[in-house]
């Protein structure tokens, strides 16, 4: 299925487990200010684990002005007029990993514990499946236990754990964890024989 067709289903209204309403839709260039505010609201210790310098307005401006949803698809969750969370599907579009999507997720503390991250990841995995990706993966540092637990609940399994392999933005080393989920169904495999 084409990305264009897939994106037609947004905006999409979602109800979380505490019955609060939420809207899912892809990032737009007009979101620059709100998306920057979103990252400023992430607690500083957690920001250390984000791979980009997201507090710098230029970084977010560049993302919003040069949107390439085929490569990076940030799916925003809006609640009470604010960006509450985001799940992103990253695609390589070529090379050895062209059949593997990478998923990441981040939810602001005040919106946690009501199933938002789980709903966002389930949604972005469904998008990956509809785009005919064969696998999705997610990367973590050893301390992100809540996230690892949540991805495991969604069917991801641990592929790799490398001790002291990565460094956060303060150059402190952490374990690296790679989790993955196979999107091919048994019937698809059976049909390939
Ligand atoms: C991890 C994170 C995404 C969870 O967001 P959330 O919206 O609170 O998650 P959900 O409410 O959907 O929780 C789903 C499940 O994850 C688990 N979980 C979530 N937070 C947890 C925590 N702090 N401790 C233990 N388990 C936790 C629970 O089992 C929960 O299931 P339950 O609702 O049946 O109890 C959020 O804490 C976050 O953004 N953390 C920082 C960024 C990060 O680690 N990102 C992952 C890197 S890809």
| Closest C-alpha to ligand 1, atom 19 | 146
Whole-number Å distance, alpha carbon 115 to ligand 1 midpoint, is 8
Measured over the CA atoms of residue 123, residue 125, residue 126 and residue 132, the dihedral's sign is: positive
Buried/exposed 154-192: b ≥16 CB within 10 Å, e otherwise: bebeeeeeeeeebebeeeeebebbebbbebeeeeeeeee
| Closest C-alpha to ligand 1, atom 1 | 147
Instruction: Report residue 192's pLDDT band, with 50, 70 and 90 as the boundaries.
Output: low
Q: The tokens of 179 are what? A: 């989790």
DSSP H helices, 66-158, are: 116-130, 145-153
Q: The tokens of 80 are what? A: 């009470």
Whole-number Å distance, alpha carbon 94 to ligand 1 midpoint, is 32
Domain ranges of the chain: 3-192
On whether the 3-192 domain is CATH 3.40.640.10, my answer is no
Per-residue pLDDT of 104-162, as tens digits, reads 999 999 999 999 999 999 999 999 999 999 999 999 999 999 999 999 999 999 999 99
Whole-number Å distance, alpha carbon 168 to ligand 1 midpoint, is 20
Q: The tokens of 88 are what? A: 């992103």
**What distance in Å separates the CA atoms of residue 156 and residue 149, rounded to the nearest whole number?**
9
pTM of the prediction?
Answer: 0.93
Per-residue pLDDT of 63-92, as tens digits, reads 999 999 999 999 999 999 999 999 999 999
Identify whether the C-beta of residue 116 lies closer than 8 Å to the C-beta of residue 107.
yes
Of the chain, the percentage scoring pLDDT greater than 70 comes to: 95
């Amino acid at each position: 299925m084409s990305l264009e067709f897939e994106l037609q289903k947004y905006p999409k209204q979602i109800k979380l487990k505490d019955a609060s309403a939420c809207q899912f839709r892809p990032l737009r260039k007009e979101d620059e200010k709100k998306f920057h505010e979103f990252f400023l609201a992430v607690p500083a210790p957690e920001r250390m684990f984000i791979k980009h310098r997201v507090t710098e307005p230029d970084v977010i401006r560049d993302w919003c002005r040069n949107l390439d949803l085929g490569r990076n698809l940030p799916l925003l969750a809006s609640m009470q007029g604010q960006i509450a969370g985001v799940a992103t599907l990253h695609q390589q579009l070529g090379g050895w990993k062209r059949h593997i999507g990478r998923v990441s997720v981040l939810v602001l503390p005040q919106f946690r514990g009501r199933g938002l991250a789980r709903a966002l990841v389930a949604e972005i995995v469904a998008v990956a499946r509809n785009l005919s990706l064969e696998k999705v993966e997610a990367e973590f540092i050893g301390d992100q236990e809540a996230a690892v637990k949540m991805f495991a609940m969604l069917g991801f399994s641990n592929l790799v754990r490398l001790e002291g392999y990565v460094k956060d933005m303060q150059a402190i080393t952490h374990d690296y964890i790679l989790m993955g989920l196979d999107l091919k169904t048994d019937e698809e495999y059976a049909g390939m024989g």
